[in-house]
Structure 1
Amino acid sequence: MKIRTTEQLLEKIDTDFAWRRKELSVIFGNAKSTKEPLQSTALRVGIALLYAHWEGFIKYASEMYLEFVASQKLRYCDLNHSFIALAFRKELIECEETNKSTIHNKTVKFLLESMEERAQIPCQGVIKTKSNLNSEILKEITATIDLDFTPYELKCNLIDAELLKYRNEVAHGQYVNVNLSDFETLYNEVTGMLNLFKNQIQNAAITKSFLKVS
Structure 2
Amino acid sequence: MKIKDLEKLEEKIDRDFSWRKVELLQIKMAIEKNNVSLSKKTLVRSGIALLCAHWEGFIRSVSNYYVVYICCQKIQSKYLKENFLAFKIKQDVRKSGESSKNSVHTKFLLRIVDLQEEIFSIRFSDIPEKRIINTDSNLSFELFDEILKSIGLENIYETKRNYIDNEMLKYRHEIVHGESYRDTEYDFTEVYDQVMSIMESFKFQVIEAAEEKKYLKQIENSNII
Alignment correspondent of 2:157? 152
* Structure 2 unpaired stretches of 5+: 126-130, 220-225
**What is the correspondence of 1:1-214 to structure 2 with a 5 Å cutoff?**
1-34=1-34, 38-124=39-125, 125-149=131-155, 151-179=156-184, 182-214=187-219
> Retained in 2: the 8 A contact 1:86–1:122?
no
Count of equivalent residues = 213
TM-score if structure 2 supplies the norm length?
A: 0.88
Secondary structure in 1 matching 2:109: helix
The residue type paired with residue 171 of structure 1 is V
Deviates more, 1:90-99 or 1:61-70: 90-99
Change over 3 Å in CA distance of 1:27–1:180 after alignment to 2:
farther
Superposition RMSD in Å: 1.9
The residue type paired with residue 48 of structure 2 is I
Deviates more, 1:164-173 or 1:30-39: 30-39
Counterpart-to-counterpart distance in 1, 2:10 and 2:183: 35
The residue type paired with residue 149 of structure 2 is A
1:17-38 CA deviation, whole Å, 9 max, x = no partner? Answer: 0111111111101100015981
1:123-148 CA deviation, whole Å, 9 max, x = no partner? Answer: 44221211111111111111111111
1:61-97 CA deviation, whole Å, 9 max, x = no partner? Answer: 1111111111111111121111122222222222223
The residue type paired with residue 154 of structure 2 is D
What is the deviation of 1:193? 0.7
Alignment correspondent of 2:128? none
Secondary structure in 2 matching 1:72: coil
Counterpart-to-counterpart distance in 1, 2:21 and 2:206: 17
TM-score if structure 1 supplies the norm length?
A: 0.92
> Retained in 2: the 8 A contact 1:62–1:127?
yes
Counterpart-to-counterpart distance in 1, 2:61 and 2:139: 13
The residue type paired with residue 148 of structure 1 is E
Secondary structure in 1 matching 2:187: helix
* Structure 1 unpaired stretches of 5+: none
What is the deviation of 1:180? 8.2
